[in-house]
Chains A and B, each alone.
Chain A
Amino acid sequence: MIEPLYELFFARYNYWMAIILMLIGLYALIAKQNLVKKLIGLNIFQTAIFLFYISLGEVRGGTAPIYLPEGVDALYVNPLPHVLILTAIVVGVSVTAVGLSLIVRIHEEYGVIDEADLVQELRRR
């Protein structure tokens, strides 16, 4: 009984942490009414995905994927997830920038940021 429990909980704790962060971000994205809070929830969701992906490439006892000087024998972690997540971080920054500027324009046009008030304003016009 103790062996499969250890396998599920303690040997894979990085996936648990990433999934909990992902659920927090998803709840903030769906349930909050304020538009800025929705955008922050999207950012938390993205960060959870990055942590999940980079922790897939970890090798126990490995060092950073930069070559050590000649003759030193070392174990390197997998460099491929780092490359893909570098691109994904930049995409996340771009989405946040455009989203925030859209929120600024919505506030200029209708005067509200809340989602329920925004639907009311749209119905009134």
Chain B
Amino acid sequence: MRKNVIIKTISRLSVPFIQVFALYVIVHGALGAGGGFQGGVVFAASFILMIIAFGLTCVRQRFSYRWIVALSALGITIYATIGLLCLIPGGSYLGYGSIETALGVPHLHGYLIDAVEVGIGITVMATMTSIIYDMSDRGGESS
């Protein structure tokens, strides 16, 4: 039991910083290097660190499997819905220019790209976490 003290302390200290860095990478997709895929995988890496340090049962009590699967469907729904919203002012599917000329808000093209990146990040994070839940739960040992 004493062997786990170092791993538990270090992961308890560093998981918030990893998650903040992941959010930074997702949101700065339009300004510098980064984007939805990269930030989503870094966010899932923080969950994997928690599973390695504290065990699967303890993490599943906080982030249940139903929520993770629902999140992975939510992200792709955000992406497809923004694409459908671009059809209303008369543009083409996923053509953000039509919403920008219809509403008249400047730089709306950039903000819509940010929203789409957030959707991608949510789906990638939820899918990676769901894969690690399934692979480390062999035989139904932990409910």
Contacts and interface: CB of A to CB of B under 8 A. Distances in A.
Tell me, yes or no, whether A and B come into direct contact in the complex with CB atoms closer than 8 A: yes
A64 B33 CA distance: 9
Contacts of A97: 131
Nearest to B138: A104
Main secondary structure of the interface of A (DSSP, over half): helix
Contacts of B134: 101
A66 B135 contact: no
A66 B29 CA distance: 11
Given A86-B35, A86-B37, A104-B138, 11 more contacts: A64-B33, A66-B32, A66-B33, A89-B37, A90-B37, A90-B124, A97-B131, A100-B135, A101-B134, A101-B135, A104-B135
A117 to B, nearest CB: 21
Name the 7 nearest CB pairs between A and B, nearest first: A97-B131, A66-B32, A90-B37, A86-B37, A66-B33, A101-B135, A64-B33
A97 B132 CA distance: 10
B9 to A, nearest CB: 31
Interface range for B: under 10
A97 B133 CA distance: 12
Interface in A49-104: 64, 66, 86, 89-90, 97, 100-101, 104
A108 to B, nearest CB: 8
A100 B132 CA distance: 12
Contacts of B37: 86, 89-90
B24 to A, nearest CB: 16
A101 B138 CA distance: 11
Interface in B1-54: 32-33, 35, 37
Contacts of B35: 86
Contacts of B33: 64, 66
A18 B142 CA distance: 44
B84 to A, nearest CB: 22
A36 B124 CA distance: 24
Nearest to B35: A86
A90 B134 CA distance: 19
Contacts of A100: 135
A100 B138 CA distance: 13
